[in-house]
Structure 1
């Protein structure tokens, strides 16, 4: 279900190391042409000046398409580039602290690893919840839960907040994940490592549009 509060359907999580040796900006732009409508820059392996430089270039490129940019786990970078918001996980700055330090944050996401986290101030402070990972994936190895479709259904039944599903999601399983209750699909490899990122995004978007 796409709501006015969270109108996004296809969410790209991108990092330079995920782009199979190709230019990050070119991959992101191709993905947006294919139907991506929200982008998160997740650079865990670089220093802050490099992260900031990449974020500045990506923000400028995405502004040409009116696609929002989120920054993963770096409040300073997010504010410096005027990002649309921030996404944080369990080992990052908690959402309540993000709200305290950046009262004007536009969109704040928080990754769930346990059902019990639904009933915490951190989940309440978030605008959307990331279900991470739905299926085991080599691009995210620091999590403990593989939610599966049953997990997506359980979270959907427990909260009205928008749910973003991530973790080995591709065109072949997009439909069941949406049917289980996800509002939006986030992908890394299915687009970043595809031979044709624009086509990969378009195929995923077509699948999403069948269910939303």
Structure 2
């Protein structure tokens, strides 16, 4: 796959494991290129169970499995990578534990973090949040389209836009030529995750 970040699914921790697996399976059939399991309020065992289940769904698909925040879970299930937040394990320690071949992402929430991240051993940066969203209540900054365009000029690392992105505004985001677009609700909460993913991918490719 040319661009693994193109259509990046972030899962909804409120969905039960059967729904989670259904959403991931359908989304991959619809063209999702990367899947991140995000579990903020859960035990190690619960997260591990969900990560194993999603890994088996992704088997043979060529779609990378990324674990949010937790290097221990990623190592336990041999996931393809980890996505860190600003308050998680420092990136250089995560890289040492994961080794050189795993994907490592980091969320940046303002320009200062964006600049500091340029020298870190990460593969991509999540620009959060483009638009404010109910799934993320502690947003520091709403980047907006202008902020995203400026971030792209300042970053040597690939960027993944996330936050409040849906079928109505995804073309605006795609027009910035950002390397990746991540979505939660627009796929997880649709009646058909496969059709939603297909439509979103078509909208990205149409610009």
TM-score (norm 1): 0.91
Q: 1:121 to 1:198 in 2, by over 3 A?
A: closer
Note if 1:104 corresponds to 2:78.
Answer: no
Among 55, 59, 70, the alignment partner of 1:59 is 55
Within 2, Cα distance between the matches of 1:55 and 1:115? 32
Tell me what 2:6 maps to.
Answer: 9
Tell me what 2:40 maps to.
Answer: 44
Within 2, Cα distance between the matches of 1:97 and 1:108? 11
Task: State the secondary structure of the residue aligned to 2:53.
Answer: helix
Q: Give the root-mean-square deviation of aligned CA atoms.
A: 1.9
- Structure 2 portions without partners, runs of 5+: none
Tell me by how many angstroms 1:139 deviates. Answer: 0.3
Task: State the secondary structure of the residue aligned to 1:109.
Answer: strand
Tell me what 2:158 maps to.
Answer: 162
Q: Work out whether residues 70 and 87 of structure 1, in 8 Å CA contact, stay in contact via their aligned partners in 2.
A: yes
Deviates more, 1:66-75 or 1:112-121: 112-121
Within 2, Cα distance between the matches of 1:20 and 1:48? 16
Within 1, Cα distance between the matches of 2:161 and 2:141? 13
Q: 1:121 to 1:145 in 2, by over 3 A?
A: closer
Task: Return structure 1 stretches of 4+ with deviation > 6 angstroms.
Answer: none
Tell me what 2:204 maps to.
Answer: 208
Deviations 1:84-116 (A, max 9, x none): 000011111121221122223511101111101
Within 2, Cα distance between the matches of 1:9 and 1:121? 21
Deviations 1:96-144 (A, max 9, x none): 2211222235111011111011222576321101010100000011220
Tell me what 1:32 maps to.
Answer: 28
Within 2, Cα distance between the matches of 1:56 and 1:14? 14
Deviations 1:64-96 (A, max 9, x none): 322110000111110111100000111111212
Tell me what 2:192 maps to.
Answer: 196
**Count of aligned pairs:** 207
Deviates more, 1:65-74 or 1:175-184: 175-184
Task: State the secondary structure of the residue aligned to 1:119.
Answer: helix
TM-score (norm 2): 0.93
